[in-house]
Structure 1
Amino acid sequence: MGLRKPTIEKLLACVFVLAVIVVLPSKAQQDAQFSQYMYNGLFFNPAFAGKESGYKFSALHRSQWLNYTGLNGPAPLTQLLTATGRLDNFNLGYGVTFLNDNIGATSNQEVNFSIGYHKRLRRGVLSLGVSGGLFSSTLKYDLLDFVDPEMIFPTSGDETQMNFNFGLGAIYDRGNYFVGLSTRHINEPGFDFGDGAINNQLRNHSYLNFGYRLKTFALWTFEPSFLIKTVSFNNFSYEFGVIATQNNKISGGITFRGQESVSLLLGYSVLNDNSLKIGYAFDLVVSNVQAKAPTSHEFMLTYNLQPLVREYQKAIQRTPRFRF
């Protein structure tokens, strides 16, 4: 008798458990981070492009470490804009993301265009995505603090460089749960400021995202999620949390970012069809407080536009002999 082949669910579970085991303390991560990561999957994974029918637009603003003043500039600020749609007849989705991330002496902007292909596989849907775009990095010389005073660099002004940026992703969704794997900055673009004297290479970032949807009593749903992040597979960090939603209207939850902070998330949907949602996240730093300000704030606005469905009613035709 032959051995039974392992199911997709078991394979995915093994991958998830293995990823949890290898999680190590977090180190330098160049990508922006969001407490409401479960609502902004397109930023991490291009396979989210057109994963659901209709059109989705979102805007997010994050003020990290409020009132922080360090040696290399003010507290980090991040803005994210996303838009995605779907071509149902071709099982294709498309999306665009724009990010503005200001941290210390650097200001980064990136725009990425994503294409996703979605196909039913067994009892779920397999989504594959690819993204490409531009990454722009600006270095502000007046905010730099050089260790070696004999090094000759400009003391004012800034310099901007731009490079191409590519990513890949995949998602398997069974309805009550999903798992996604993605990688960003595959080509690891470099920015050699100061005629090559300052090397600022953008490292490859990879993500493993897992979410579960649990419907319970009185129109309550609970959605635990897990996000594992790695930079060039040299170090790992993680975030996990759970969101509770009542009748698709009011939501609240809590997340934990490994070795950094705890976040409280709130959400409220307006309009009759709940298509417009307002979200807020409050972060409280619980680790390495000396090097950071204790609180961060994140505001989010999303709008879901469902495709128009035209219903035609057949008119009754009457003739002297027939009625149909």
Structure 2
Amino acid sequence: MRKIYYIILLVVSFGANAQQDAQFTHYIYNQLFLNPATAGSENVTRFQAIYRTQYLGYQSTFDDGGAPVSQVISANVPLKMIKSGVGLTFVNDKIGASTQRDFKLSYAYQMPIGGSQLGIGVSGGFFNRGIDYSRLRARDEGDPLLATGRVSQSAVDLGAGLYLNNPSYTLGLSMNHINEPKFGLGTAANNTLKRSAYLTGSVLIGVSYTVDVSPMFIIKSDLNSFSAEAGAIATYDGRYWLGASYRTGDAGSALIGANLMDGSLRVGYAIDVIVGGKNAKSATSHELLLSYSLAALRAGKKSIVRTPRYRY
């Protein structure tokens, strides 16, 4: 019986570690999720949501497995008066009977360096893991060693990062889960949330008066293994964009979107198609992006508008 207990625990732990953090194809537009140093870096107040369903239509052949479904909601505000930015991020990630929720606050000091801006950021919040054991099948019903019902646990989660932002390029380096929170989830064993390191970058290339191309990449690592993704996005007239990328050993992706309402509203869609590794029961993943930006907060007195019609 004890053997069955640890088999179930191993399966749950493997599922959490194989894709420890939620994965998003729109990573280039989702920097706050990866790096707290990006808070305020755009010099606009931005509200954003991304919804991702991975391996759409996949149904497990054993109980309540199923495909990962992830959402991230974020907001960040530049505080120009103190050369800083603040942000918050909420992530909801579900895989079968297990859930992961992450809520964190970010602060970044934005330091001018020549024609660039260097962000130095930290984040802190709570990471919650949960398992609904009632949705898993035990070989021996009523085994007293097996947990029952839904069990969840929260722990403090810390991160830090650097972000170099230039009109022609960006480069970011960050690490999440620095303190490696541990979760028991109703068992005597501890499952550790491993540190996640991210290196991201992009370059803006003006091809013509109306067309820009931006190569981009991301390298992800738990300090033992790593994965990489690279691609490019072409933008026409600053409004419409189309892109493609490849994730090593996994999938090719296509992205399409538009900047509407004078650039305040951003909408996007991405599709991943499995092209490497083992044959998947469902070969596609889909992602939707919705973002809205406002002008940065203003400080100080309202400026006086002088006209010939009205004297001072």
* TM bracket (short chain): 0.7 to 0.9
* Superposed displacement of residue 29, structure 1: 3.5
2:15 equivalent to 1:30:
no
Q: Which moved more, 1:52-61 or 1:120-129?
A: 120-129
* Alignment counterpart, residue 258 of structure 1, candidates 233, 243, 248: 248
Equivalent position to 1:80, from 51, 72, 78: 72
The aligned amino acid for 1:301 is L
Which residues in structure 2 correspond to 1:107-126 (within 5 Å)? Answer: 107-126=99-118
Of 181, 185, 204, the residue aligned with 1:189 is 181
Where does 1:221-260 land on structure 2 (aligned, <5 Å)? 221-231=212-222, 233-260=223-250
Report whether the alignment pairs 1:45 with 2:35: yes
Cα-to-partner distance string for 1:109-166 (whole Å, 9 max, x where unaligned): 1101000111112332111000000011111213446699997444752101011000
State the SS of the aligned residue for 1:188.
Answer: coil
Query: Paired residue for 1:135, among 127, 138, 142?
Result: 127
1:158-194: CA deviations, max 9, x gaps? 1010110000000122321121100000011011123
CA 1:105–1:209: 2 relative to 1, 3 Å: same
Q: Secondary structure at the match of 1:73?
A: coil
Structure with higher Rg: it is 1
C-alpha distance in 1 between matches for 2:49 and 2:196: 23
1:222, 1:147 → 2: CA distance? Answer: 55
Corresponding letter in the other structure for 2:247: R
Gaps of 5+ in 1: 1-26
| Counterpart code for 1:206 | A
1:76-97 per-position Cα deviation (integer Å, ceiling 9, x unaligned): 1001000000111110100000
Q: Distance in 2 between matches of 1:240 and 1:234?
A: 21
Contact 1:73/1:143 (CA < 8 Å) preserved in 2?
no
Paired residue for 2:270?
A: 281
Q: 1:305 to 1:69 in 2, by over 3 A?
A: same
Aligned equivalents of 2:296, 2:103: Cα separation in 1: 26
Q: CA deviation at 1:55?
A: 0.4
The alignment status of 1:300 with 2:289, answered yes or no, reads yes
Q: Does 1:209 align with 2:204?
A: no
- 1:96: which partner in 2? 88
Moved more, 30-39 or 122-131: 122-131
Check the 8 A contact 2:151/2:185 in 1, yes or no: yes
Give 2:3's aligned residue: none
Distance 2:246 2:263 in 1: 27
State the alpha-carbon separation in 1 of the partners of residues 80 and 91 from structure 2: 28
Compute the TM-score of the two structures, normalised by the length of structure 1: 0.83
Aligned residues: 291
Deviations 1:207-227 (A, max 9, x none): 001111111213111111110
Structure 2 matches for 1:137-156, cutoff 5 A? 137-144=129-136, 152-154=144-146, 156=148
Change (3 A) 1:99 1:38: same
Runs of 4 or more, structure 1, over 6 Å off, are 146-151
The answer (yes or no) to whether the contact 1:159–1:193 under 8 Å persists in 2 is yes
For the aligned residue pairs, the C-alpha RMSD in angstroms reads: 2.4
